[in-house]
Amino acid sequence: MRALLLALAGLTLLSAPLAAAQRPVVVELFTSQSCSSCPPAEAVLTDLRDQPDVLALGFHVTYWNRLSWRDTVSLPAATDRQEAYARTLGETRVFTPQMVIDGRRSVLGSQRGEVAAAIAEARRASPVAAMTLVRKGGDLVVGLGAGAGSGRIVLVGFDREVRTAVARGENAGRDLVQSNVVRSVRDLGGWTGAARTVTQPAPAGSDAAVLLQAADGRILGAARLTGAGS
């Protein structure tokens, strides 16, 4: 019964409307084209992709590449980011498909009910600082409002969709369609509570997002821009 209720909650929460002042909840999926358990989690990420109050990002890790298939969009920065979450969340190992919700909670990415419950919980957290991301010529301009606390500013470039015919490994013979695939991660420096503006070249990827992240991994703010890539 509990599983059924969670699943029904998932159907509702994955399509909840955006409140006017709410910043997006950041959902990060750590995945690999070599992982046979990952396509169901990637389907969840695809369902979340177009929700206005969710920023869904697919981070393709590198540690599966030692097997028979090398993930065509794997990124060392994705592996580094997942390992950092293992430390801040007190986990003893990394795994796929892992979803980290707002830097606060880790869940199995294929469990829709658990993902929805974690998103609902994250929605109740107030943003620490207002953030904007706009294009200016060939650059992107990140705006941060004043607030209490401190964190790092992270610029992420991603492609809305990547299609891959996998020839070997656990997913051999499958044509995978993966959403919001991260292509670049760039640290833009620190924020200590004062309003500031940062201008940077557009990152690799068709779209971009900016995150404000505390030392303990919590996401303090976020913004995105469609059609932002270099």
User: Given pLDDT bands bounded at 50, 70 and 90, which one contains residue 15?
Assistant: very low
Q: What is the pLDDT of residue 22?
A: 66
Query: Does pTM surpass 0.85?
Result: yes
User: Given pLDDT bands bounded at 50, 70 and 90, which one contains residue 126?
Assistant: confident
pLDDT in tens, 135-179: 999 899 999 999 999 999 999 999 999 999 999 999 999 999 999
Q: Which residues contact 50 (CB under 8 A, 6 or more apart)?
A: none
User: Given pLDDT bands bounded at 50, 70 and 90, which one contains residue 7?
Assistant: very low
Judged against a pLDDT cut of 70, whether residue 5 lies above it is answered with: no
* Secondary-structure class of domain 2-8+22-225 per CATH: alpha beta
Q: What is the pLDDT of residue 227?
A: 82
Report the alpha-carbon distance of residue 140 to residue 122 in Å, rounded: 27
pLDDT in tens, 40-74: 999 999 999 999 999 999 999 999 999 899 999 99
Q: What is the pLDDT of residue 219?
A: 96
**How would you classify the pairing of strands 25-31 and 54-60?**
parallel
Judged against a pLDDT cut of 70, whether residue 13 lies above it is answered with: no
Q: At what angle do helices 2-13 and 112-123 cross, to 10 degrees?
A: 60
Q: What is the pLDDT of residue 17?
A: 36
Question: Is the sign of the CA dihedral 87, 205, 219, 129 positive or negative?
Answer: positive
**Per the structure block, which two tokens stand in for 76?**
């060392």
Please report, for the chain, the start and end positions of each structural domain, with discontinuous segments joined by +. Answer: 2-8+22-225
Report the alpha-carbon distance of residue 30 to residue 184 in Å, rounded: 14
pLDDT: is 104 or 13 the higher one?
Answer: 104
Percent of the chain surpassing pLDDT 90 = 84
Q: Which residues contact 10 (CB under 8 A, 6 or more apart)?
A: 112, 113, 115, 116, 117
pLDDT in tens, 193-219: 999 999 999 999 999 999 999 999 999
